[in-house]
Amino acid sequence: MSLSPVRRVSGPDADPLLYFPPFAEEMNKARRMAALQARAFAGAGRPVLLVDLFGTGDSQGDFAAATWEDWLADIDVALDWLVAHGAKRVIFWGVRLGALMAADAAIRCAAASRLLLWSPVVRGDVFLAQFLRLRLAADLIGGSAKQSVEDMKAALRAGEALEVAGYELNPALAGAIESRSLHGFAQGNCQVDWFEVSAAPGAGIKPVVQRVVDAWRAAGSRVKLREVCGEPFWSTPEVAVVPALVDATLEALPL
């Protein structure tokens, strides 16, 4: 795992943020936004720890060998590092699939003081199917489509690794993603700042998102749900930024 702390040398004590990155190519597309937000937080006096999980970015290991449990173990190491540097409570900041992982980690970690979620993946099975469609689309363009999404899911469940968009997907990781959903990670008595990025002004919150928020609130979670207009920076062809999201996020977590 690779750690990149971003912090101001002096300033008021504040709960640091621990970053949970998106998955595969979405992680690369989101790096610019993560860096902008981290610098904005650090400039305001709130430290941030950015991590590259096992097999991703500048971290050691191969993506093909990565599992969900490996990544959660990396998060534990990052938490230990923050505690060793004086943190008592930590804000978990997750983007896309990283938000799903942050919610998973938060329910088992007493140090998690708050959740900051950017356009989280709500259902892992839907996300996995969307990811597999990248391979299907590439096969169709190449004129060699042989497997449907369901065929690929069956191959993964049988223990076969698959190459998708340049990433070799570990069947164990695929199974872990498929089995997880924000519906199962109600946060109880926890503050959650949930941001949905919408390309069209006033597009409104998706029903699937609203259902999770309602369930979390019913479980006692204090969820603030906000919609921000901007490009889906994790999936645009070119690197994109959403300044309004940086500003709104900074405003949501004052010192």
Contact 218, 210 (CB under 8 A): no
The whole model's pTM is what? 0.94
Dist CA 48 CA 91 (whole Å): 9
Q: Where are the domains of the chain?
A: 2-122+186-252, 124-180
User: Does domain 2-122+186-252 sit in CATH 3.90.79.10?
Assistant: no
Q: Give the lowest-confidence range in 2-11, 23-32, 140-149, 201-210.
A: 2-11
pLDDT tens digit sequence for 162-205: 999 999 999 999 999 999 999 988 888 789 999 999 988 878 89
